Structures are given as C-alpha cells and as structure tokens.
Chains A and B, each alone.
Chain A
Amino acid sequence: MSAGLPGLGLSGLFVLLSALGNPIIQLARRRRRQAGRTRVGPIFALSVAMAMAIMGIWDGLFRGAEVLGYQPSHHSGANAPIPFASVPVVLVSLSILAAIVTTAELALHVSRPRTTPTPPPLPFPGLDRGSRDRTTSA
C-alpha cells in the first residue's frame, strides 16, 4: 500500500512531492537569479489539491471501515496503521521512496557513471561544427 494510493504508485507520489517542492526550488532559483519565467503556481495548486484528495480518500476509507466494523482504530487517514502491522501507511510509503532514491544516489558512488555508447555519427553537411558533445566541450 502506498500513501500515494495504490494506483498512483510511488512514481505518482514522487512527482507529487516534486510539485509540492516547486515553490521552495523557485525561491532558491530566484536567489541565484536563475528563476526564468516558469510559472509554478498552477502546478503547485494542482499538487495541493491532489494531496488533499489523497488525505481525504484515506480518511474516508478508514472512517468507512470503522463504521462497517472492519477496522476499529483510533487513527484515521494516512496515519492509520496498515492491517498487518502497527506502522502508519504514509511512513511505509515514504520509507520505500527514500530507500529507492538513496539506492540511486549510492549507486552513483559505488558504480562509476559511464556515457552509453551510441552508433557511429552520421554525416551532416549542413553545418561546419566541432564536437557537439557538451559533456566534453564544456
């Protein structure tokens, strides 16, 4: 079970958290004068509405279960424990998410990144150019 709800998956939860973080990132960019003209308001508003919907669904689900006698609990919403352990659902989801992101970060240090080989370049007489690989030309 995911605090982001099953169908959304952890990808959905990650994108939602990313969108919720947009204003903070935007502030940081402004301080460095790198903010550009991107409008973060509409996506942030969407993400807030979606987060509230998720909390509302969990809340309604556990209240409904309580009413029907399936889940007698003092907790409700995303803080409610999962059926087989007394761990809040949101904690389980965020822990898995953190573990995956941390694994990706660790892999960066354990395994040396390597640019994926590509097929040989094609001739392009349209421009006189040097190397267009920005990783080497930068």
Chain B
Amino acid sequence: MEEPRMPQVTQATMEIAPSAREITADLTVIVPAFNEAESLRDTVASLAQQTLPPGRVLVVDDCSTDGTGEVAATLGVEVLRPPVNTGSKAGAQTFALTSVRTRYTMAIDADTVLAPDAIELLAAVFVDDEVAAASGFVLPRHVRTVWERGRYIEYMYSFTFHKQVQDYYGKPLISSGCFSMYRTDVLCDVGGWSSRTMAEDMDLTWTLYERGWAVRFVPEATCYPIEPANWHFLGKQLRRWSHGFVQNVRLHWRGLLSQRYLRSVVAIAFFDALVAPVITLFAFPLLAVLVAPWFLLGYIIDSPVVAIPVLTGARRRGETRRAIASLPAYFALRLANCWFMLRAVVAELVVGRRLTAYEKGH
C-alpha cells in the first residue's frame, strides 16, 4: 500500500489562519444558470439561510430564454450576463470569476440546495494553507424515479466509503462541480474552469494536484442537486461524464504519474472503464446462455457489499427505508453507466470522435 502524504495544519499556519467566519465573509458564490428559473429560487434561498452566509452571490445568467435573469434579480443577488452564451458551465463560471474580488470562491449549480451549515463546514478546512479546493457530500434532492433512486444509492455508497478513503490518502478523485470551494488566486492562476474537457471539475481537481495543492472532501457538508429523473436527461449527463473521464485521463496522464495513490486510483478506474462494460454488457449474458444461467447473478451479486456502507450512511440520516427501497434501482443505473462508458471509450479512443458539445443533464 502506498504511503500517502497528507497536508498538515502546523502551528504556524494556525496562528495566521483565518476563522471559518472570516473565510465565508471573504467568499463569493458563483451560480451558473442556463434556463434555471424554476430551481434558482431554492438555491439562492439556501445560500441566504446558511449559518455563515457568503459575502457575495453572483448568478451568471448564461443568456437564458426562460427568464432566469429576471428571477435572479428579484432575489437580491448580483446578476451577470455574458454577451453571448458561453456554451458550458465551465465557461459561465470562468466568465464570473473575472468579477470576483474575494479570497475564496465557491461554485454551486443552480439546481442545488445546501444544508444550512454546509458553507461553514466547508470553509473550516481552508484554515490549512495548503488546501486549494474542498467539496462536500452530495445526495439527490428528489428520490422518486428509478434513476434518481439509483443515483441516491450510488452517491450514498461512493461518498460514505470511496471518497472518505480517498480523502484519508489525501487524494479525493474529484472536487464535485455542483458544490466546491476554492482559493480564488489559485483558481485564477490555472485559468479558472476549463472547457477543454466535458468534466471541468475533474480537470480542475487533477490540475490542482499536479501543482502541489491539497484538495479535501468534507463529508459533513451536504448538498442536494436535482438529478436526472428520466432516461433522456440521464443519457446526456452520463455521456458527458463518461467522455469527460476519458478526456481527462488522456489530458492528464503524464501529470498524474507524479501523484502517489491518485495514479493508482486513476489507472484502476481506467482499466475498469475499459473492461467492466464488456463484462457486464456482453460476457454475463453470453455466459448465461452458453454455460449456465447462474452467471446472471453477476449483475447483483455484490448487493450485500454495497448495502453495508449505503445502509450505514442512510441510517445516520434516518433514511434506512428509502435506501432499502432504492437499492434495486442502483443495479439498473449501473447498467446505464456501463453502456455510456463503453460508447465513450469507443468514441474517444477507437473512432477518435471527441465529445465537444456541452449538454445539460437535467
């Protein structure tokens, strides 16, 4: 097992470090919004209800056609509107970044609401001078359809177990784009959020690692985005994420080589991306037909293992019944993940057809 290097809060940094209250007072929240008139009100309200509210809130109305800008203006926040649609969330956020004057910047999606103490908890890790970015626990706001239920389990599993282990080793794989906080000067130094891949949050996180910064995961800071409720929007989101992963591996692999632990995590995840779809979509059905139908058990055989962290996390939140009811949907979502990952690998690595058009996933 590789020995990780963890950033430490030294006595020297503690003495000059600002408190969470000072950090949030020196914080600008950027809310990129393209046709988000329906959900924006809840997002802004959740920012206003924070135990430590941010100093400034900037809504980027990315040339919406549904009156998002007008809605934002009635909510008492600053509204920025680029001359033309920036084409992506990354573009809208970077457009707003040039107007930020505070030491800290937060980006949250316009469909995301925060738990009342989320910003305070996230800000607290910035007392460590080596931390450039931090993100929190993500859970779907609505858990109704099969895809939302699947996502609920996926997030509960990943954020209760995977991400916490990665954080222990000092290398969370991604600082989630829907709710993350950054040091503004570091963010500006790397040019803000880049549109060169379909997963700007992964691109930024890996860039920060390459430049020697620490990224933290704060499980107590919770946010609730709206997840795709139907196949149409789920497909758009998964297409973007899977292409984004492959694009980021291609872009960053040389830079990641110097990152202990992370290089192993990414190499294994990439292997899984290549192999798991083939096994899941082709090998299991073929073996079930040619050898024995018991091979179909492969689709759900790990359910007790997945259930352990999921039920542990759900129990803490008083959502045990919701988790049990949602567990079967996770296996349907996993099949969808495999399908879109297979398509992304073929398109990006075999056919050479890059995904460049950003499409919203809900």
Interface residues of A, Cβ cutoff 8 Å to B = 4-12, 14-15, 17-19, 21-22, 24-25, 28-29, 34, 36, 38, 40, 43, 46-47, 49-50, 53-54, 56-57, 61, 65, 70, 83, 96-97, 100-101, 103-105, 107-108, 111-116, 118-127, 129, 131-135, 138
Contact = CB atoms under 8 A, between A and B. Distances in A.
A120 B213 CA distance: 18
Contact of A103 (B102, B267, B298, B331): B267
Given A57-B305, A118-B194, A132-B186, A19 B94 contact: no
Contacts of A133: 189, 211-212
A112 B97 CA distance: 33
A131 B300 CA distance: 51
7 contacts: A15-B162, A29-B6, A50-B309, A70-B292, A118-B194, A126-B100, A127-B103
B320 interface: no
* B interface SS class: helix
B272 interface: yes
B169 A115 contact: no
A43 B98 CA distance: 40
B188 A121 contact: yes
A65 B291 CA distance: 13
B291 to A, nearest CB: 7
A43 B159 CA distance: 12
Contact of A8 (B257, B261, B291, B305): B305
B290 to A, nearest CB: 12
B3 A25 contact: yes
Interface in B262-287: 263-269, 271-272, 276, 279-280, 284
Given A34-B6, A116-B210, A11 B268 contact: yes
Contact of B212 (A113, A120, A134): A134
B312 interface: yes
B269 A11 contact: yes
Given A5-B305, A19-B165, A115-B210, 16 more contacts: A4-B302, A6-B284, A7-B298, A11-B269, A46-B161, A47-B161, A54-B305, A56-B304, A57-B301, A100-B268, A100-B271, A103-B267, A104-B263, A116-B206, A116-B251, A118-B191
B267 A116 contact: no
Contact of A108 (B211, B263, B265): B263
B254 interface: yes
A36 B9 CA distance: 8
A127 B268 contact: no
Nearest to A110: B257
A123 B308 contact: no
Contact of B294 (A6, A65, A103): A65
B141 interface: no
Interface string B187-202: 0111110101000000
A10 B271 contact: yes
Interface residues on B, range: 35 or more
A20 to B, nearest CB: 9
A49 B254 contact: no
A19 B162 CA distance: 9
B87 interface: no
Contacts of A97: 268
B165 A15 contact: yes
B39 interface: no
B107 to A, nearest CB: 14
A20 B324 CA distance: 26
Nearest to B292: A70
B353 interface: no
Given A8-B302, A15-B165, A113 B258 contact: yes
Contacts of B185: 124, 126-127, 129, 132
A21 B1 contact: yes
Contacts of B251: 116
A121 B190 contact: yes
A116 B196 CA distance: 12
A22 B168 CA distance: 8
B164 interface: yes
A111 B254 CA distance: 8
A15 B166 contact: yes
Contacts of A122: 94, 97-98, 188, 191-192
A122 B96 CA distance: 11
Nearest to A119: B191
B82 interface: no
A122 to B, nearest CB: 4
A28 B196 CA distance: 40
B248 to A, nearest CB: 9
